[in-house]
């Protein structure tokens, strides 16, 4: 590392040493550690106040506020404006506050967050944007991920009651959160009937009493529900003429096929990368991509500790439904090779599209032994939704 800094001949040996220590400290801070904890600092050696700032703070200070995000403030609807004023007032009065912004998909939660971040940063304040996944974080300028923060956590081998008991509404911090609700659906102006359908899916009201199945409209099904519809039909609908991408480089952008589990994702990505034409300077060449070691937590599921080395990037023609949260896509394919398995799963997948014409669903094979391909499983924990809504009032 010091050799890299030595290339700058204007730095003295002492300055190089300081730069190396700062770099090491930055890496440690990103993992929740500090260089002082490891005894790496010489006696009577300390960083200045500026150099002691965390890596996140230093990164935040160089973020440039986009004009379009500042303009978003004037475009907020009534619900968004109310939430904006409540939160920003608390910031500028230097008072504590913890808020829970609730609302179905397309009520403009991300739009509100971007306006808040732009306003706070433009006034010289520091705002750290945290999301539960890398894709969700990328929607917020300067966003980063925070793990193990989910409204409905996955309880290993847990029942519905155990999952609800472990959810945010039953957390000790829930009563301390100020609830702000967004209700105006920004999608309704594009396709009102689709917006109403999504609200029924999210609430579970299209689900028959005592039944876990929902019937999807034939218009959003691949081949209108034909039993002969295949995965290749879905791929051709979401990525038409992908073999000719070189003629239209923007063709695959803002499109995705959403799937329940990672091993099905790999299946679809393998098919698409075979169809994808090689373009650019490295077409047909082997390229080195760095891999990183990952070690799972030590618990009863992994009794034998191990380290797995894997690539830090992956194909995303297809991705899991969970990873698509927060995104709005121009074309959405949903491949249900097996039914959804968690609360809100189906709603999240369908609500990535603005209109019904932008989404296609392939149910393959049919659910259990039912003859049709227009029905699939839906999971909605109504207790959670009702408790959340009551708290917002």
Neighbours of 39 (CB within 10 A): 7
pLDDT at residue 148 greater than cutoff 50:
no
Q: Do 318 and 265 form a contact (C-beta atoms < 8 A)?
A: yes
Helices (H), the chain: 2-6, 13-29, 55-61, 67-71, 78-92, 109-122, 134-139, 160-165, 192-203, 231-238, 262-275, 345-350, 382-392
| Tokens 């890398």 belong to residue | 134
Q: Which residues contact 128 (CB under 8 A, 6 or more apart)?
A: 56, 60, 142, 144
pLDDT at residue 258 greater than cutoff 50:
yes
Tell me which H or E stretch contains 244. none
pLDDT confidence of 46, banded at 50, 70, 90? low
* Least confident residue range of 59-68, 141-150, 196-205, 310-319: 141-150
Q: What is the CA radius of gyration of the chain?
A: 24
Sign of CA dihedral 103, 128, 176, 92: negative
Q: Do 256 and 316 form a contact (C-beta atoms < 8 A)?
A: yes
pLDDT confidence of 150, banded at 50, 70, 90? very low
Q: Which residues contact 231 (CB under 8 A, 6 or more apart)?
A: 268, 271, 335, 362, 364
Q: Using N-to-C axis directions, what is the helix angle for 382-392 and 192-203, rounded to 10°?
A: 110
Q: Give the residue-averaged pLDDT of 50-67.
A: 70
* Least confident residue range of 93-97, 155-159, 341-345: 155-159
Of 120 and 44, the one with more pLDDT: 120
Tell me which H or E stretch contains 180. strand 178-181
Pick the closest to residue 318 from 282, 380, 273 (CA basis): 273
The per-residue pLDDT of the chain, averaged, comes to 79
pLDDT value of residue 49: 43
* Least confident residue range of 185-199, 230-244, 284-298: 284-298
* Least confident residue range of 223-232, 284-293, 317-326: 223-232
| Tokens 């890299």 belong to residue | 4
- Work out the percent of the chain whose per-residue pLDDT is above 90: 24
């Amino acid at each position: 590392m010091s050799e890299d800094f030595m290339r700058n001949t204007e730095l003295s040996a002492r300055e190089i040493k300081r730069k190396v220590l700062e770099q090491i400290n930055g890496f440690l801070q990103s993992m929740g550690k500090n260089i002082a904890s490891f005894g790496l600092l010489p006696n009577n050696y300390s960083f200045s106040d500026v150099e002691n700032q965390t890596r996140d703070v230093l990164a935040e200070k160089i973020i440039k506020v986009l004009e379009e995000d500042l303009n978003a403030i004037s475009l907020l609807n009534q619900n968004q404006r109310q939430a904006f004023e409540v939160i920003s007032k608390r910031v500028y009065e230097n008072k504590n506050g913890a808020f829970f912004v609730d609302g179905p998909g397309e009520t403009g939660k991300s739009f509100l967050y971007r306006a808040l971040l732009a306003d706070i940063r433009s006034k010289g304040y520091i705002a750290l944007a945290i999301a539960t996944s890398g894709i969700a974080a990328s929607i917020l300028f300067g966003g980063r991920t925070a793990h193990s923060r989910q409204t409905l956590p996955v309880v290993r081998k847990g029942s519905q009651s155990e999952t609800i008991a472990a959810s945010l509404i039953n957390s000790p911090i829930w009563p301390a959160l100020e609830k702000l609700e967004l209700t105006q659906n920004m999608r309704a102006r594009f396709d009102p009937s689709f917006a109403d359908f999504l609200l029924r899916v999210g609430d579970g009201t299209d689900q028959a009493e005592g039944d876990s199945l929902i019937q999807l409209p034939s218009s959003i099904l691949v081949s209108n529900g034909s039993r002969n519809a295949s995965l290749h039909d879905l791929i051709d609908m979401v990525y038409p003429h992908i073999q000719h991408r070189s003629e239209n480089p923007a063709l695959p952008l803002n499109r995705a096929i959403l799937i329940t589990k990672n091993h099905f994702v790999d299946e679809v990505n393998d098919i698409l990368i075979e169809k994808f034409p090689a373009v650019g300077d490295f077409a047909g060449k082997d390229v080195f991509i760095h891999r990183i070691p990952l070690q799972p937590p030590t618990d009863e599921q992994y009794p034998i500790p191990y380290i797995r080395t894997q690539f830090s990037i992956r194909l995303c023609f297809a991705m899991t439904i969970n990873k698509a949260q927060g995104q709005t896509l121009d074309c959405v394919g949903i491949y249900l090779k097996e039914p959804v398995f968690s609360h809100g799963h189906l709603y999240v997948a369908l609500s990535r599209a603005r209109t019904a014409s932008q989404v296609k669903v392939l149910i393959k094979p049919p659910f259990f032994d039912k003859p049709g391909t227009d029905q699939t499983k839906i999971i909605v924990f109504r207790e959670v939704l009702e408790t959340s809504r009551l708290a917002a009032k």
